[in-house]
Structure 1
Amino acid sequence: MLRSIFFFDAMLVPKIITAVYWLLLAGVVISGLGMMWAGSFFGGLMLILFGAVGVRIWCELLIVLFKINDHLKKMAEKP
């Protein structure tokens, strides 16, 4: 396993994206709650809803790029 990481045989970033997703989601929720508490309830609610969807889409697009890379690698290895 360690060899595959050091020689770039395995991608490390897709595993990290999950942690980044949860951190960004927590940030969106905290920001939205802060906005609600500051007086803009509707704005905070919209930030939570659209922010959560936006973070999810962004992370999924990154994962799709890595999956495309994996599939291209498999196609190149086929005779």
Structure 2
Amino acid sequence: VYTPTSTDYLKIIDQNDKLITTFTDLFKVPVKTPLELQAGNYFVNSMSAGNLDFMLYVVQKDADNYNSLVYNNL
């Protein structure tokens, strides 16, 4: 999991509402050190009253593009 978005208003939680990470913490992790998640259901939870724009990249561990750089032209 990787995101170029840094905000404490967005967080990833599991199906039991357990905090996995915030987008700010995830943003600080180098691209070559992805956050690995066990198989399961995860949700992006917004604690903001407004609509936030964000990008989230998820790649299967054995995929051809695993651990490759993500380019953002925004």
Q: Does 1 or 2 have the higher relative contact order (CA < 8 Å, sep 6+)?
A: 2
Q: TM-score, normalised by structure 1?
A: 0.21
Structure with more of its chain in helix, by fraction = 1
Structure with more of its chain in strand, by fraction = 2
Q: TM-score, normalised by structure 2?
A: 0.22
